[in-house]
Every structure is written in C-alpha cells, then in structure tokens.
Amino acid sequence: METTKLFLSFFYCCFLLSSGYICIQASSLNHRHHRRQKHEISDGSFRPTKLFVFGDSYADTGNIRKSLGNSWNEPYGTTFPGKPAGRFSDGRILTDYLAKFLEVRSPLAYEWMKMGGKKLQNGLNFAYGGSGVFNTIGDLLPNMSTQIGFFDKLMHDSLYTKSDLKSSLVLVCLSGNDYGAFLAQGGTMQGLRTFIPRVVKQLGVNLKRLQQLGATKVAVTSLQPLGCLPRSTIDSSFQRCNTTQNLAVAYHNLLLQQTVTKLNNQSKSSTFFIIDLYTSFTTVLNQKRDYLGNLRFETPLKPCCTGTDGYFCGSVDEKGAKMYTVCSDPKSAFFWDSSHPTEAGWHAIYTTFKSTLEQVFKS
C-alpha cells in the first residue's frame, strides 16, 4: 500500500505547468547502419546544419504562453540571457547545448517565428513546457502530434523541405507530463500500468511520422530519474532519490528502447537513437568532483530557487511580493527549481553525452 502511495505521489508531482519537464546523456543504440551524408565537417563526419525540436519544458525556449509558465517570470533567465525568456532555468538548457554541439545557433521558438528571418535557417523549436504525447490540460498546450503538425504545415508551405530534414538533427523529448495528467484526471494505479505502454506507443507513432516526413537522424530522450527531482527528494531534505519512482521510470525507458530498436529494424537504418537522460542525470548527481578535482555540486539534489509558503519559484503574491528564495550562486547548484537543472547542471549533463553524439555523427 505504501509503495502505491509513493508511486501515485510521484506521478501527481510530474504535472505542473510552471515546471514542466525534459531530458540527456546519450546512450546510443545501433550506429552500425549509419550512412554517410553529404553534409560533412573537416574530419569527414556528418554534422547536421539544423536542429528541429519537439517536446516539453526541458527543450522549450519560449513557446509556452506567459500566462501559463513561470519561465517568463524573474528570476528565470538571470544567467542567460539576463532576463526571463521562456526557458525553464536560470540560463541555457538542453536545446541550447545540442545546438552548441552542432555549431549552429539555438533554433527560434515556433511562437516567435514571424520575427525569425534568417534565424529560421537554424531550424525551429516546437516544444511547449507542460505538454505530452496526449493532451495534458485540454487544448491549452499543443501535444506532440500537434507540434509535428505545425512542422508538417511549414513543409507543405515550402518553408522547409525534405532536403532540410536530411541535413538536420531532430530532438524529441518526453518527460512525464502525460502521467501526471492521467492521474490528476482520475486515473487509477491499475490504469497507469496499462497507460505507460500507450504513451510509449504514441511516442513511437510520432517518431515514425517524423521519419516519413524525411528525418534521417532523430534523438529521443529517455525519461529522467523523476525520483531524483527536488519535488521528490524534499521529503528526505534533498538527501536521497525515491527508488520506487525511479523503478517506474525504468519501465517507461525499457519500452522506449524496445520501440526505438523496432523502428530502426523496420526501416533498416539507425535513424533513431536514445539520449539517455536517466543515466546522464545519475552520472552527474553521483559525481562529487569534476575532472579538475573541484567540488561540483555540494548538495546536488537541493534546488537553487525554492518557493515559500506553498508557492513556486518565480511566484509573487497578490501584492507583488516575491514568494521564493534564490541561492547566492546558481553555478553551485545542479537543480534550478523543483524539476529543472540550472545552466551549470545542463552543462555538466552535456559533458556526459557529448562523446556519444560524436560517435553517432561519425561517418
């Protein structure tokens, strides 16, 4: 009974628009069939020239409405770009570091594409914080199928072509909002056990659709260790992860790996590979010191920005008073708020998956 309560508590915690979700390290699956592309860099390896992004708050760089996301409130964005800009962190996030690897500018958020101009040549970001493969709160947020539909229309309008997709990396990130919404809407524990396969199956449908549109290299993130998020570890004063929750995450990730393998086998390619957020998070959280021997994150499970009196990071009361506290140095914290890493956290994660990305894109 206690295990059931913990499991339910975990999934209810997953769903909060003010702190959605996302993803990385990279545990690639099969790269043996990767074919040489004509877009190469000096060492002869394939390097995408554009980045297209679909998913939730670990990847959202400004799509979520200001009325729905605390990411548009101070103190979000204080490290980069210096003010709130829609990122669920104090600074750069997963999308930005993938763009860094590709040596392109971070793709513009879809909602701002009319201001894009030449920026559109870097790709486009369709991710919305709080979203999932299914609707999470009615139609307030575009689910992943709708996000892909936005992109499909742009291709139909000839803004992008199949040739563009062949020279691109597509990031697909799914981080748990579907499960929180399912339980918040009256779903049961028994129903959840059959719902997880439905979520992964729909994710597989979305991945196949991207391939049919012309995508030749798609990175899909595994579910991060939700039991290690501050909203879960607060019960232990940020000292330990919730093992029960992480075992549930493992089921999702097992089904995801099976799905990706099946898709690659069906197409006789290595179009899809997994960015293993679960392993990446746990690697960084367990690594007390960096390569220079300096202490990296002294209390890695404790967030930098915390709400007070039941509020969340970035919240103000009816008088406009700040209802949160912020640590003196975000660079010393792995987590920014109850769900998302700091820029320093994402950078540490990036160091764990960079070598795998290099292997994926090696000719």
The verdict on whether 267 is a catalytic residue reads no
> Which one, of 79, 70, 353, 84, lies nearest residue 219 by Cα?
353
The residue written with tokens 């179009």 in the block is 271
Residue from 57, 106, 232, 270 carrying the catalytic annotation = 57
Task: Compute how many other C-beta atoms are within 10 angstroms of the C-beta atom of residue 359.
Answer: 13
d(CA 174, CA 131): 8
Which tokens in the block code for residue 132? Answer: 């999932």
Per 3-state DSSP, what percentage of the chain is helix, strand, and coil (rounded to 5)?
45, 10, 45
β-pairing, 324-326 vs 305-307, is antiparallel
Question: Catalytic annotation on 340?
Answer: yes
CA angle 301, 87, 156 (to 5 degrees): 130
Radius of gyration, alpha carbons of the chain: 19
The length of the chain is 363
Neighbouring residues of 143: CB distance < 8 A, sequence distance ≥ 6: 131, 132, 133, 134, 135, 136
* 210 to 131, 253, 278: CA distances (angstroms): 18, 20, 24
d(CA 144, CA 177): 12
Q: Is the separation of the CB atoms in 36 and 156 below 8 Å?
A: no
Active-site annotation holds for 317: no
Among residues 96, 222, 337, 339, which one is catalytic? 337
Joined tokens for residue 166: 């062949």
Looking at this protein, which amino acid is placed at residue 265?
Answer: N
Distance, CA of 111 to CA of 114 (rounded, Å): 8
| CA distance to 68, 106, 180, 332, per residue, from 71 (Å) | 9, 17, 20, 20
Q: Which residues are catalytic?
A: 57, 337, 340
